[in-house]
Every structure is written in structure tokens, then in C-alpha cells.
């Protein structure tokens, strides 16, 4: 009986089956998590960006992007955003806020985000100086960041403009006021 496994132990066939099962599970997990690819630019930027209050209070101009992981325009713009962030890391903050994260709902309301990508532009004092709607090329992003860093006028690009405070019924609109039921949300386009 030298060929039989000890009582309660695994035989060679069972061990081989467990090793194969573990390898299949590991391969499945790698596939599910995106494989061995390096982190996508959008994910990389989002993970390394400062908290918005910190960025707005540290004396550097700030570019805030409202984005979503599923947004093709956001994903296509991500390499250019990553380049801009790397080139201007010492004199510009880049902050990414995911519209699907409920943590950012007050900011979505405050900045009237109803489509993505939406960029909010802030001067070194943390004051809002403009907004950009839609995907931007590297050249357009560089023009916007140069204007922020130089404290100059925003470039004349379609979908870019200064922001102003709106008034409703004689007073400023509050982020806590109820919204119309038919108002579009960042998630309303596909």
C-alpha cells in the first residue's frame, strides 16, 4: 500500500487539479482587472490629483476636470491631460472629479456640470475664471494652462468662456436649491 496517499492527504492528481484551478482563477482575475497593462492615463491622473480644497488654496492655478470612466471623450483626452500635468506640475494643479462618485455631487451642483468632459479653470487665488465644455486637444489644453499660469485671458476656443454668477429671483443661485426635474445630468448622455 505504498502507492496510496496518507489518510486525509491529497493525491498527485488532486494536487495537479488544484494547481490548474488556481492558475485559471489567477488568469481570470488578471483578465477581469485589465491584464498586465499599465494604469490608464485617466485612472493615473485621478489617483494622483489633489483634493479640490487643497488645490484651490495652495497658491497655484487649478484645472479641474469632471469626467467618467465610461466617457470616451474623457478617455481620449486623458493622455493630453497627463502630458499637461507632467509639464506644469510645479506651477499648476490638475484635479479630476468623477461624476459617478456621489462624493462630488456638491461640486457637480456648484459648477453646473451637465455634460462631460467639463473643465473648470481657477486662478492662483482659487477664483473661478472660466469653463471649457467638451474634449480638448493637447494644443488647446496647453493654451488654457498657459493662460491660467500667466494669469492672462482665456484663449478664444469654441466651448470656452468666463463664468459669471447667475441670479434667480433677486438672489444668487444656491447649490442646495432644488433642480428642475427635466434638467440634464452628466450621466444623461451616452
Is residue 31's pLDDT more than 90?
A: no
Least Cα distance to 111 among 125, 100, 97, 91 occurs for: 97
How does residue 148 score in pLDDT terms, banded at 50, 70 and 90? very high
* Set of cell numbers at residue 90: 510645479
Provide the pLDDT for residue 27. 73
Query: 30 or 184: whose pLDDT is higher?
Result: 30
Is residue 185's pLDDT more than 60?
A: no
Coil, strand or helix at 172? strand
Phi and psi at residue 160, to the nearest 5°: -115, 135
CATH code that applies to domain 41-188 = 3.40.30.10
CB 131 within 8 A of CB 119: yes
Q: Given the residues 42, 52, 71, 77, select the one marked as catalytic.
A: 71
Provide the pLDDT for residue 22. 83
Least confident span in 16-20, 140-144, 166-170, 186-190? 166-170
CB 186 within 8 A of CB 179: no
pTM of the model: 0.67
Whether 71 is a known active-site residue: answer yes
Using CB atoms within 10 A of its CB, is residue 143 exposed (0-12), middle (13-18) or buried (19+)?
middle
Query: 39 or 135: whose pLDDT is higher?
Result: 135
Q: Given the residues 55, 74, 113, 119, select the one marked as catalytic.
A: 74
Is residue 4's pLDDT more than 80?
A: no
Provide the pLDDT for residue 130. 94
- CA dist 50 to 9, 56, 126, 137, 160, Å? 53, 10, 14, 23, 24
Least Cα distance to 70 among 99, 106, 33 occurs for: 99
Whether 74 is a known active-site residue: answer yes
Amino acid at each position: 500500500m505504498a502507492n496510496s496517499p496518507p489518510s486525509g492527504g491529497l493525491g498527485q492528481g488532486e494536487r495537479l487539479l488544484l494547481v490548474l484551478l488556481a492558475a485559471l482563477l489567477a488568469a481570470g482575475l488578471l483578465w477581469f482587472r485589465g491584464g498586465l497593462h499599465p494604469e490608464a492615463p485617466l485612472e493615473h491622473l485621478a489617483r494622483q490629483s489633489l483634493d479640490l480644497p487643497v488645490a484651490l488654496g495652495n497658491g497655484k492655478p487649478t484645472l479641474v476636470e469632471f469626467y467618467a470612466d465610461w466617457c470616451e471623450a474623457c478617455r481620449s483626452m486623458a493622455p493630453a491631460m497627463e502630458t499637461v500635468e507632467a509639464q506644469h506640475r510645479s506651477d499648476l494643479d490638475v484635479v479630476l472629479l468623477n461624476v459617478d462618485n456621489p462624493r462630488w455631487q456638491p461640486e457637480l451642483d456648484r459648477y453646473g456640470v451637465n455634460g462631460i468632459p467639463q473643465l473648470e479653470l481657477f486662478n492662483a487665488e482659487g477664483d473661478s475664471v472660466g469653463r471649457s465644455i467638451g474634449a480638448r486637444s493637447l494644443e488647446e489644453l496647453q493654451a488654457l494652462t498657459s493662460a491660467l499660469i500667466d494669469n492672462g485671458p482665456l484663449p478664444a476656443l469654441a466651448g470656452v468662456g468666463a463664468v459669471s454668477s447667475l441670479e434667480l429671483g433677486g438672489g444668487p443661485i444656491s447649490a442646495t436649491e432644488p433642480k428642475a426635474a427635466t434638467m440634464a445630468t452628466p450621466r444623461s448622455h451616452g
